[in-house]
Chain A
Amino acid sequence: DIQMTQSPSTLSASVGDSVTITCRASQSISSWLAWYQQKPGKAPKLLIYKASSLESGVPSRFSGSGSGTEFTLTISSLQPDDFATYYCQQYNSYPLTFGGGTKVEIK
């Protein structure tokens, strides 16, 4: 199985900050990676697919990059609505696997 490791597990930031979340795969997954945002008590929401493609309707302050084994999700200017938990997910091979999540908290 491909292990997905996210860092940090928790991130404290202020409104307006630029933040970066890292996701590392235990083996190459090309660009077969998605990012999701989840708020408490809600279902996850797709932000990015194929490592860097922004889902329709997602604000442009979200961006994804990377390929192979190392990927990043960047939020360029953190907004109050962005405080949530973020997950990466690989769809290179079975079983599909998620990272452990990164909680973005208000500093």
Chain B
Amino acid sequence: GQQVMQIPQYQHVQEGEDFTTYCNSSTTLSNIQWYKQRPGGHPVFLIQLVKSGEVKKQKRLTFQFGEAKKNSSLHITATQTTDVGTYFCAGPRGTSYGKLTFGQGTILTVHP
């Protein structure tokens, strides 16, 4: 079945350092989404990428979708303590847009 792998599982950074998490799918994706979950909270949608090679930015966050539409990355520049949480990528299962397969998530800790 479809698998979505995410690395690293954990990342500890000092405030001000950059952070990147990578997502790889076993199958080509029609789109990929990124979510953030704060400790004790629920996942919150960040962004959706649809086009091959697409790059989107949200302030200090940069999202990329690979040319083959099987991988993606999230890069945070100059991390802040407010960036703490778990970042998940997710892709649709087959052609069913509403069914998502999530990566295992990357837990980001930012030390002040």
Bound pair (A, B): no
Q: A residues bordering B, Cβ < 8 Å?
A: none
**B residues neighboring A (CB under 8 Å):** none
